Amino acid sequence: MDVSIILCTYNRDEHLKETLRSLQQAEVPEEWAVELLLVDNISTDATPEVIRAFEHPEMEVRVVREEKRGCSYARNRGVSEASGEVLLFTDDDVRVPPDWVEEMATPILEGGADAVAGGVELAEEVRADWMSPVHRSLLASTEEIDPEQPDRMVGANMAIAAGVFEEIPRFDPELGPGALGLGGETLVSLQILEAGFRIESAFDVTIEHHPDPSRLTWEKWDEAAEMSGRAGAYLSYHWKQRQYSLPVLTAGWLYYTLHVWWKRVAAGFGKPSNGGMPTDELYLRRKKYRIRQHLRQYGRERKHNKID
């Protein structure tokens, strides 16, 4: 098998239908063997029926059910089940271009890369003028990643040589949706680079991300800031091996908690009429949640070996 596409899904049956429609248009190069692994992470909606009914004219489609809740568990199950030389990952709320498979997998199959960071852009209907790059990045946009030296990949559009996972750990179950919320593919990217493998960018191979509009509310931005902060603290502690004293962490948490509270006071405890969250408040909340996560894991045994 040349390529194994791994698509993990959880309770997004309507979004998944549109993603699968776009995958039906994805072309498979002549003489390539490609399989599509649909990993259902114990969905309770109509997802099982949607994926069982899906067929592709040029791909073998296999359905897998992962009983442990969490995107990292689902991705790891996909890696275990895959038989392809290239593992091509995507999400259940995207639209892929017709040449997606060939353009993402060719650099690895031809020996020019060990992993490929593909492009992700927000669909037109969810873009807003008030969004900053940090807002868009929290919705999986790749615009802030350096195309010359990509230091991370986004899980909605990334390809990894199967052999890489013989040298590095798989996805950490404490990271990603269903756990801390984010950071799973970031840690894998760091481990790939630390092991001496090459990540090449292919940001011109762009998929469209169609997040549910409910993710654009003030409350959801607060959740996104929390997930980003928690994942950042986890990577700082377990990967970068950083340790701060309890007095420093406590003072930092109080400092940012008060700043967040003052920001709310200054705004009259109101929320922006557009439903979003100002960039400066987003940063403050992310820092507050990051420090809180450092406090929660204070003294834990390190899970990873990287040291600055």
pLDDT at position 307, please? 45
* Cross-strand bridge partners of residue 89: 6, 158
Q: Long-range contacts of range 212-220, CB-CB < 8 Å, 24 or more positions apart?
A: 212/12, 212/15, 212/93, 213/125, 213/126, 215/139, 216/126, 216/128, 216/275, 216/276, 217/275, 218/271, 218/272, 218/275, 218/276, 218/277
Three-state DSSP class for residue 37: strand
Residue 160 is given by DSSP the state E
pLDDT at position 230, please? 96
Overall residue count recorded for the chain in this entry: 308
pTM: 0.91
pLDDT at position 273, please? 66
Contact 217, 272 (CB under 8 A): no
Closest CA to 152 of 210, 232, 36: 232
Query: Does residue 269 carry a pLDDT above 70?
Result: no
- Give 153's contacts (C-beta < 8 A, 6+ positions apart): 115, 116, 117, 118, 185, 186, 188, 189, 199
Q: For 167-184, what is the mean pLDDT?
A: 94
Closest CA to 218 of 289, 132, 277: 277
| CA count, 13 A, side-chain hemisphere, 223 | 12
Alpha-carbon gap, residue 70 to 8, rounded angstroms = 10
Domains, the chain, ordered by start: 3-212 (3.90.550.10), 217-296 (no CATH)
Q: For 96-105, what is the mean pLDDT?
A: 96
Query: Does residue 221 carry a pLDDT above 50?
Result: yes
Alpha-carbon gap, residue 226 to 212, rounded angstroms = 19
In one-letter notation, the amino acid at residue 112 is G
- Give 76's contacts (C-beta < 8 A, 6+ positions apart): 170, 171, 173
Query: Does residue 308 carry a pLDDT above 60?
Result: no
Share of residues in the chain with pLDDT > 90 (%): 83
Q: For 74-98, what is the mean pLDDT?
A: 96
In one-letter notation, the amino acid at residue 145 is I
Helix axes 184-194, 71-81, angle to 10 degrees: 50
Q: Render pLDDT for 34-72 as a digit per residue (tens, 0 to 9).
A: 999 999 999 999 999 999 999 998 999 999 999 999 999
Closest CA to 88 of 146, 8, 13: 8
Q: Render pLDDT for 190-204 as a digit per residue (tens, 0 to 9).
A: 999 999 999 999 999
